[in-house]
Amino acid sequence: MKKSLLKEYAKLIVYSGAAVKKGQYVIIRTNVSQEKFAAIVAKECYKAGAKRVIMSWESFALSQVDYKYGKSKNIGTLSPMEMAFQQFSTDALPVLIWLDSDDPDGLKGIDAKKVAEIKAMRHAQAASLIEARDNKYQWCIAGCPGEEWAKKVFPNLSRSKAMESLWNAILLTSRALDGNGIENWKKHDEILKEKCDYLNSLNLRSLHYAAKNGTDLKVGLIPGVIFLGGGEKTIDGTYFEPNIPSEECFTSPMKGQAEGIVYASKPLAYNGQLIENFYVRFHEGKAVEVHAEKGQEALESIISLDEGASYLGECALVPFDSPINQTGLLFYNTLYDENACCHLALGRGFTELFPHFEQYSDEELRSFGINKSLSHVDFMIGTNDLSIIGTDDKGKEIVLFKNGTWAF
């Protein structure tokens, strides 16, 4: 891939995505294989005025060793160094940039229940610090290809050709292949905002999903909670783009109001394991039955992480003819696959979607119906025949999606 294009992509991530400002700390989280591109991004952070760029390296090879040979109690206990890092993240509010290159099969063969148990333990110890910095810092997730991921997407190509092809797909779907990502993103953001403005004008109280694959699900919505798409703002008003790419208009539904069944339309890569051909059945808002042809243990671990993990935290509307879906690729990566078509998320809802959320405590926001959980796991449900009908506060039905795409 041309270095000039990678440099422009890095600028998109740093300036539009993370919105790095002068004097801020920046944490770049990525796989150990991404040293070169991480350096390009770090350079742009410093040019934007970053005070210090701190690398947070990850390795599936080392994680496999931890999960396989380490005791859950020991691996699940945050070290003093890790707790200090959590405290630093809450005190200094560093910008977080995640350069995602995860291998979809990176933890294949590892006990999914053990991974979930360790994850829950670690999250619980840092929960108060994580909540204290919620909505106060900028963050951005963007992709960069790793060899294992590239070969998963393009199994019939050589490693070098697979890497090149995945780079092209990433830049294309991020609207950065022509080198004008920042300008393209401004225009795209305006379109998403127009869609959200219309949805917010409808005063919707529920969404009914239906498709020929068996999906038949009704989800309640919270009065006043908005749909949001594209850029977001921190409490201090800093505008940033958390997901590159993004095609969604999303909201957080009412906890306890989901009835019916929904079938996933794409595999889900979760904690380095693939979950395929699965469904989730809801009653009184809770996932009471899940089944997967592959990855059943991993699927069960998602809804057992904590009390809120089995409730919905997000409903996201994405047209089936989105640019990502038009590539014809299955990315095996949630950042991309969730923006290919409509999706739901189990777990944590978004408190920032409640008007003037900063004036309320976390307990108050949760009491309004926004789900609380340590996890947030998106899964894709969009099909080419998906219908979504909204019902407003007066009982009027409004067709939002027809044949998998916008009906307005």
What's the pLDDT tens digit per position in 139-154?
Answer: 999 999 999 999 999 9
Q: Tell whether 224 and 371 lie within a shared domain.
A: yes
Looking at residue 271, its pLDDT comes to 83
Instruction: Look up residue 273 and give its amino acid.
Output: Q
Residue 190 lies in a domain: no
For the chain, percent helix, then strand, then coil, each to nearest 5? Answer: 40, 30, 35
Q: Tell whether 162 and 216 lie within a shared domain.
A: no
Domain-ending residue, one of 173, 191, 213: 173
Residue 144 lies in a domain: yes
Bond before 245 cis per omega within 30 degrees: yes
Q: Tell whether 138 and 218 lie within a shared domain.
A: no
pTM: 0.90
Residue 181 lies in a domain: no
Positive or negative torsion for Cα 360, 361, 366, 370: positive
Question: What is the C-alpha separation between 66 and 237, in angstroms, rounded?
Answer: 40
Give the mean pLDDT of the chain.
Answer: 96
Q: Tell whether 124 and 263 lie within a shared domain.
A: no
Whether 362 has a pLDDT exceeding 90, the answer reads: no
Residues 349, 313 contacting (CB under 8 angstroms): yes
Q: Tell whether 207 and 309 lie within a shared domain.
A: yes
Looking at residue 384, its pLDDT comes to 96
Residues 124, 305 contacting (CB under 8 angstroms): no
3-state secondary structure 235-287: CCCCEECCEECCCCEEECEEEEEEEEEEECCCCEEECCEEEEEEEEEEECCEE
Whether 396 has a pLDDT exceeding 90, the answer reads: yes
Question: What is the C-alpha separation between 291 and 306, in angstroms, rounded?
Answer: 19
What's the pLDDT tens digit per position in 49-108?
Answer: 999 999 999 999 999 999 999 999 999 999 999 999 999 999 999 999 999 999 999 998
Q: Tell whether 124 and 206 lie within a shared domain.
A: no
Buried b (16+ CB within 10 A) or exposed e, 390-407: bbeeeeeeeebbeebbbe
Question: What is the C-alpha separation between 144 and 29, in angstroms, rounded?
Answer: 12
CATH of the domain at 21: 3.40.1830.10
Residues 284, 274 contacting (CB under 8 angstroms): no
Looking at residue 273, its pLDDT comes to 86
Q: Tell whether 282 and 153 lie within a shared domain.
A: no
Residue 74 lies in a domain: yes
Residue 61's CB is within 10 A of a number of other CB atoms, namely 9
Give 116's pLDDT tier (boundaries 50, 70, 90). Answer: confident
Question: What is the C-alpha separation between 381 and 264, in angstroms, rounded?
Answer: 5
Give 342's pLDDT tier (boundaries 50, 70, 90). Answer: very high
Buried b (16+ CB within 10 A) or exposed e, 186-199: eebbeebeebbeeb
Question: What is the C-alpha separation between 313 and 70, in angstroms, rounded?
Answer: 32
Looking at residue 229, its pLDDT comes to 96
Looking at residue 389, its pLDDT comes to 98
Residue 258 lies in a domain: yes
Q: Which of 369, 377, 211, 385 is nearest to 290 (CA)?
A: 377
- Which structure tokens are listed for 364? 């108050």
When divided into structural domains, the chain yields a total of: 2
Residue 263 lies in a domain: yes
What's the pLDDT tens digit per position in 199-238?
Answer: 999 999 999 999 999 999 999 999 999 999 999 999 999 9
DSSP 370: -
Q: Tell whether 167 and 288 lie within a shared domain.
A: no
Residue 187 lies in a domain: no
Domain-ending residue, one of 173, 194, 219: 173
Domain with 141, as residue range(s), is 3-173
**How large is the average pLDDT for residues 320-338?**
93
Question: What is the C-alpha separation between 170 and 175, in angstroms, rounded?
Answer: 9
Q: Tell whether 292 and 346 lie within a shared domain.
A: yes
Q: Tell whether 212 and 339 lie within a shared domain.
A: yes
Q: Which residues are 97's β-sheet partners?
A: 28, 140
Q: Tell whether 396 and 320 lie within a shared domain.
A: yes
Residue 278 lies in a domain: yes
Q: Tell whether 291 and 402 lie within a shared domain.
A: yes
